[in-house]
Structure 1
Amino acid sequence: MGSRRWISTITGLTSSTGVVVVITGGTKHLYYEGYVYTKNSEDETGRSYWVCKKRKSLKCKAAAVTVKDSVVKCSGTHTHEAWE
């Protein structure tokens, strides 16, 4: 079996919003204010809905909503410290 190459691509980064979306192995992750979110869904208007990456392992219910490269809403409280 050959080695698998994972490609990470930064698709959005703006200093005014602090939003970074990285695609790793086909999964989109949002890095925002020290926390990592996984893309959950996207609606027909282009809003993306994100859940904390620690949702299952730490039962973290924090979530975020983005439109293009801007976070428009964060909800819930993280059950863990931010990543540094």
Structure 2
Amino acid sequence: MAAVSSAKIGQKINEWYQNIKRLNVTDAEILRSEIRRDLDVMEEDEQAVLYFQLMEFRHEQMLEYMDLGARKMNKAEYLRSVEGQ
């Protein structure tokens, strides 16, 4: 299998982040799986791996926040906590 370029992975991670910010869990999960598969065959790039790890953290924060049993979702509050604004 041919190596996937780190630039292509970076673009997918950007798309993944957009879905995380929009609280689009289904699309975010799909992209997360695709990116994990692509990382296994990606050309070596430490920056891309670090970027992936950051988005993994953000993804987990989103999932924790989306725990519907805990409380009602408030997108503005979530974005303030994630973005610090």
When the two structures are superposed, what TM-score results if normalisation uses the length of structure 1?
A: 0.22
- Structure with higher helix content: 2
Higher relative contact order (CA 8 A, sep 6+): 2
Flag the structure with larger Rg.
Answer: 2
When the two structures are superposed, what TM-score results if normalisation uses the length of structure 2?
A: 0.22
